[in-house]
């Protein structure tokens, strides 16, 4: 039974984390209090082609703070079966001239399904972004940690026939996590930003990586809703 649990947790949660798309990139030089809303559309590649949509609400504080929610899903015939949602906040914590440091904290809920098991996972995602921001362009690097805290397993009948001792239910404590880093560059015009980012992922033991550890994303932001 322990072998089955270890195999299931290790292999399937590695697959669960293949969707590495993170929060939308923000040009903090143009993210003023003038506009309340920001909509994001993105597409990327990690284990396959995936898409995402996000929404951010700019709070009316002197310190730039944005509440946001994102939804990401893979392409394919069953794109609603697997998804990743993130809800949280990102804020510009420090600024020195055109340089800025941003902190991000999000709660994560995701689903993954396969011929063997359906997984539901609650986790957290924390990251820091250091960048150079101008009104027309920006470049930044991000380092973060995506942690699976508790996961619900529901195995298929076919899997249970081969492993009748396997049990469904919630597994804790935390079942896995990945460190990630990426480089992002963007161009800003009117009320919009376009950006591209690329990065790499390393599992929490600092010794292994996913089968395809690299990812890339292209995205578009538009600001609207004057105060």
CA distances from 175 to 47, 126, 161 (A): 21, 17, 25
Q: What is the pLDDT of residue 183?
A: 96
Q: What is the pLDDT of residues 148-157, one digit of tens each?
A: 888 888 888 9
CA distances from 216 to 20, 56, 138, 186, 220 (A): 9, 21, 17, 14, 14
As for how many domains the chain has, the answer is: 1
32 vs 197 pLDDT, higher one: 197
23 vs 2 pLDDT, higher one: 23
* CATH code of residue 162: 2.40.128
Average pLDDT across the chain, whole number: 84
Q: What is the pLDDT of residue 206?
A: 67
Q: What is the pLDDT of residue 213?
A: 75
Helices first, then strands: H and E counts in the chain: 2, 11
Sequential DSSP letters for 173-214: S--EEEEEEEEEEEEEETTEEEEEEEEEEEETTSS---SS-E
Segments forming the whole domain that contains residue 30: 2-226
Write the DSSP symbol of residue 34: T
48 φ, ψ (degrees, to nearest 5): 180, 180
Predicted TM-score of the model (pTM): 0.85
Q: Which residue bears the tokens 């914590």? A: 93
Q: What is the pLDDT of residues 97-128, one digit of tens each?
A: 999 999 999 999 988 888 888 888 899 999 99
């Amino acid at each position: 039974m322990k072998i089955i649990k270890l195999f299931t947790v290790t292999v399937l949660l590695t697959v669960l984390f293949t969707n590495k798309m993170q929060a939308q990139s923000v040009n903090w030089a143009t993210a003023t209090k003038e506009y309340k809303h920001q909509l994001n559309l993105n597409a990327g590649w990690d284990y396959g082609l995936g898409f995402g949509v996000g929404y951010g609400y700019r709070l009316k504080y002197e310190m730039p703070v944005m509440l946001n929610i994102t939804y990401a899903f893979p392409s394919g015939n069953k794109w609603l079966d697997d998804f990743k949602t993130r809800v949280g906040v990102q804020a510009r914590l420090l600024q020195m001239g055109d340089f800025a440091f941003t902190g991000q904290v999000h709660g994560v809920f995701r689903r993954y399904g396969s011929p063997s098991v359906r997984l539901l996972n609650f986790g957290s995602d924390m990251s820091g972004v250091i960048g150079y921001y101008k009104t027309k362009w920006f470049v930044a690097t991000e380092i973060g940690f995506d942690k699976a805290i508790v996961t619900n397993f529901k195995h298929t009948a076919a899997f249970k026939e081969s492993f009748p001792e396997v049990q469904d239910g919630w597994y804790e404590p935390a079942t896995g996590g990945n460190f990630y880093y990426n480089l992002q560059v963007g161009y800003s015009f009117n009320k919009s930003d376009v950006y591209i980012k690329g990065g790499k992922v390393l599992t929490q033991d600092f010794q292994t990586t996913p089968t395809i550890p690299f990812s890339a994303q292209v995205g578009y932001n538009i600001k609207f809703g004057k105060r």
